[in-house]
Each structure stands twice: as C-alpha cells, then as structure tokens.
Amino acid sequence: MAKEQLMPYEQAIERFEVVIGLEVHVELNTASKMFCGCANNFGSEPNTNVCPTCLGLPGSLPAVNRKAIESSIAIGLALDCQIAESGRFSRKNYFYPDLAKNFQTSQYDEPIAYEGKISVELETGERFEVPIERAHMEEDAGKLTHVGGATGRIQGAEYSLVDYNRAGVPLVEIVTKPIYGAEDKAPELAATYVRVIRDIVKAMDVSDAKMERGNVRCDANVSLREKGAEKLGTRTETKNVNSLRSVENAVRYEIQRQAHILAAGGSIIQETRHWHEDRGHTSAGRPKSDADDYRYFPEPDLVPVQPSLEWIEEIRKTLPENPALRRKRLQEAWGFADLEFRDVFNSDLLDEVEQTVAAGASPQSARKWWTGELARLANAQGVSITELAITPGQVAEIQKLIDAGELTDRIARDVVAGVLAGEGEPSQVIESRGLRVVTDEGALIAAIDKALASQPDVLEKIRDGKLQAAGAVIGAVMQEMRGQADAARVRELILERAK
C-alpha cells in the first residue's frame, strides 16, 4: 500500500488547529466475565472459558457481574464523573464473526458515568484538563486469528479462526470530549492522557492495565480546522493504538496526513483507520456511511442499574490516592530533584521505588537500583522491569548489607544475579556463592604486600606522592580477593603499607 503524503509537522501545526478525542477501552480484571460466570483469564486454551451465554448460543441469557459495576463506578469516580442515577444496557447490532450474538451489549444512552475531567501533566510540566464525556460499560469481543496470506493480517487471509475466550470480558470505555488547544503538544497530550488513565486503573486495581496484552486500548480521533474556523473538521478514528508510543505517533501521523490533504484542497473522509506501528503509518479502514446503523435499543434481557448513594460512597472510600497528588507527595518525601523524579516516573518505577523505600532502603539508593542495574538487567533479558524475579524487599535487603559494609556494590550485583537466577533469597545466594566482603585484614595485608612486591615501580610512585598509582595495586588485590573486598579499605591499607 502506498504511503500517503504528509505535510511537515511544524508547518501543519502552524496552519491548522488540531482537535483530538480519545476513546480508551479498559479491560477490567474481574474474576469472571461481564455477563456470565466464565473465567476472565488471559492465555487459556482457545474456547475453554466459554459457556452458552458468551458463545451466544440460542436460549442463553446475560446476568450482570456486580464487581464489574463496582469497578466501573470506581473508574467514574476517579475521573471526577457524575454517577448515573439510572444506567442501562443497550444492544449495538452489527454482524462480525468475533461478536458471538452479532450484537454488543453496551451502554448507549444511559452510561454509568458522565461529565468528568482529569488533569494531565506533560513532560514539560505543562498541565491540561481533559474533559471526560462519559465512561460506559460494555463487553469485549472474541479473538480472530487470520490464517493464510503472507502476513497473518486480515487482508489476503484464506480463512479466520475464532476464539471466544475474550468474548464477554468486561470493558469500560472512557470517552473524552473534544480536546482543543493542545497545538503542537496534541500527540504528546494524547499519549500522556492514555498513560494517566492506565496509571489510575492500575493503582485502583480494577485492571491489569498491561497495554501489551490489550488491557488498555486506545482509539484516537483527530480532526483539523483552519485556524480561526468555527466549524469542526471531519475526523478520522484510528483504531486500537496499543502502546503509548503508538498513540503519539499515530496522532502525529494523522495530523500530517490530514494537513497535506486539506492544504491541497482535498477533503477528509470520515473513516476508521488502522495504525501500523511497524511501518509507522495509518491505513484506511471502513468508511463511515449510512450502512453504520447500529439499531441500538434497550437490552430487554437486563434490568436498569440504579446504584444507591450509599453504594457509591462505599466505593468512593476504596479509591486510592489520586496519582498526580501521589507523585507530588512522593517527590517531596524522597527529596528528589525534578530530573531524578521524572526518571523514576517515566520508567514506571514509582511503585517499585516506593516499596523499596518502605522496606528500609534510602530513596536515592532505591532509585539507583531500579533505574540503573535492574533496568539494565531487564533490558538485557528483554523483559519489563516489573517482570524481573526480584522483589523490592529483596532489593532493600541487599542495600542494607551494602550500607552495613557487608557487601560491596560489585558483590551486591552478584547477589542480584543469583536472586534473578532463582538461587533463593539474598542471604541464601550469599551463603551458597560464598559472597561476602573479606573483613580479615591479615589476608588483605598479605595480598597487598604480595602485589606491592611484584610491582616495585608502583611502590616507588606512591612513595613519591603519586597516590593515584595505587589504583593498579587495588586491581591486583581485588583480583586476588575475587572481588570480595571493600575497595576503599584496600586503598587505605595500600597507602599505609607503602609508607
């Protein structure tokens, strides 16, 4: 497919006003599905978490999961929304093979939550208040696998296979109002907004919030209008942009693509588009047309949701701290400079550092471990840092041993490696690998004397006051001690013995 022509970004922003709107789908982490008792489980054998209801078999009926309602209300509250006195489910009718009943049960005219807002802070510290139109409940569809053809994509496939394990998993769809005024920051704002939503639902523990698993998915609406124009431009909706980076790139791409078309006197087709992260562009999907007639009507098999004020207040009490306020609190408590804090935050390590500090490590040492050695190891292993097989408690324990002089930084890294290799708790690794700082000064002195004796020229230099020459001896001594010595102490002893 030919890549479309793009207008340079700066030029596009100069000429057009960007309006974005975001729809974020959050998969809830309930034990069972939205309308049936099947497990809400990722990664099961295909079509094993299915029953007559989520398979859409004739005669089956839905029954609403109370926890899903609770989580949805909680999300509404976290987004500063009004909670509906009465919400109801409707049927959205369209045929697609991943949709078992060929209608999606979704809230349409009476969403559970509406009229909210959320504050989003960009990397520069600039703040935007994103207006939330609604948060409504719906069910996920099954998963299609496209077989045949070159790419495994839907285009050119010979046939498709359907697994309904995901069908009926509860979703909350959060829809913003049009967001104006972000100008050149629109792509970054879009990505940051999605991130804020992800952080909130993760902190609330209503979703596993793993974007790579599709727990949080974004559809991005973009439209442009000439600066000063009243009328909104025609928008496109880019579907399923499933990483923060993709959100930013897809919005930027759409701005440039639409700008080129509009500048050339063309018009934008209202359509859904698909983002291809690998190729860095969007492609046209289905145009919106008269054929999009979903024939919504109230779901006759379900009764209205009318949460009592008491219930809502009970749910409000379970809400965790607002993530933005939490960030402010943690930065103050840890005494981090802005850059240091952003480093932790941008690496998604607030929880880890907080827990490591809680387990007794100093904030700075906790930060260094997580953003340094552990980030490096995760990267080398090709896993996300939270998937590393080490806990904040273990990190804090190792740090305590360093602080007590029982481990050097160097030995500590070996301990970490042992923990990651599954050799047990830090103490067990230290025991079994025999890792401990050599505190027996007799052994150290013997090693130093031996090293000095074998390097008489170095000894001369030290005696001449060229103290940096001691480095060469330190290396030899550390090698002799298999690294298990405190380098600072070795240096002190060398200078003493050289006198």
CA distance 75 to 81: 9
334 near another protein (CB under 8 A): no
**What region does 380 belong to: left with phi over 0, alpha with psi -120 to 50, or beta?**
alpha
39 near another protein (CB under 8 A): yes
CA distance 10 to 256: 9
150 phi, psi to nearest 5 deg: -80, -30
Binding region for another protein (CB under 8 A) out of 11-19, 28-36, 183-191, 206-214: 28-36
80, 104 contact by CB (below 8 A): no
Q: Which does 101 bind (CB under 5 to 8 A by kind): Mg ion, another protein, Zn ion, none?
A: another protein
Number of residues in contact with another protein, rule: CB under 8 A?
69
CA atoms within 13 A on the CB side of 68: 28
CA quadruple 27, 351, 409, 405: dihedral sign: negative
Binding region for Mg ion (CB under 5 A) out of 37-45, 165-173, 391-399, 415-423: 165-173
Interface with another protein in residues 90-129 (CB under 8 A): 91, 93, 95, 97, 100-103
Q: Taking the CA atoms of the chain, what radius of gyration do you get in angstroms? A: 29
Interface with another protein in residues 145-204 (CB under 8 A): 145-146, 148, 154-164
Interface with another protein in residues 61-90 (CB under 8 A): 61-69, 86
Give the shortest CB-485-to-another protein separation in angstroms: 56
Binding region for another protein (CB under 8 A) out of 9-17, 45-53, 259-267, 420-428: 45-53
Give the shortest CB-213-to-Mg ion separation in angstroms: 19
Binding region for Zn ion (CB under 5 A) out of 33-41, 59-67, 281-289, 408-416: 33-41
Interface with Zn ion in residues 37-96 (CB under 5 A): 38, 51, 53-54
Give the shortest CB-296-to-Mg ion separation in angstroms: 11
| 308 Cβ contact list (under 8 Å, min separation 6) | none
173 near Mg ion (CB under 5 A): yes
167 near Zn ion (CB under 5 A): no
Give the Cβ contact number of residue 97 at 10 Å. Answer: 12
CA distance 263 to 366: 52
114 closest CA partner among 63, 182, 172: 172
Give the Cβ contact number of residue 340 at 10 Å. Answer: 17
CA quadruple 456, 458, 461, 462: dihedral sign: negative
CA 169 to mean position of chain CA atoms: 20
Give the shortest CB-301-to-Mg ion separation in angstroms: 19
Give the shortest CB-172-to-another protein separation in angstroms: 15
44 or 391: whose CB is closer to another protein?
44
User: Which one among 19, 50, 220, 481 touches another protein, defined by CB under 8 A?
Assistant: 50
Strand partners, 272: 237
CA angle 477, 478, 479 (to 5 degrees): 90
Specify burial of residue 189 (Cβ count, 10 A radius: 0-12, 13-18, 19+).
buried
Q: Which two tokens stand for residue 490?
A: 């070795």
Strand partners, 226: 16
CA distance 313 to 307: 10
Give the shortest CB-60-to-Zn ion separation in angstroms: 8
Interface with Zn ion in residues 318-377 (CB under 5 A): none
Give the shortest CB-330-to-Mg ion separation in angstroms: 35
196 near Zn ion (CB under 5 A): no
Give the shortest CB-98-to-Zn ion separation in angstroms: 15
Give the shortest CB-166-to-Mg ion separation in angstroms: 15
Q: Which does 180 bind (CB under 5 to 8 A by kind): Mg ion, another protein, Zn ion, none?
A: none
Binding footprint of Zn ion on the chain (CB under 5 A) = 36, 38, 51, 53-54
Binding footprint of another protein on the chain (CB under 8 A) = 30-32, 36-39, 45-52, 55-69, 86, 91, 93, 95, 97, 100-103, 144-146, 148, 154-164, 290-291, 293, 295-298, 300-307
Binding footprint of Mg ion on the chain (CB under 5 A) = 173
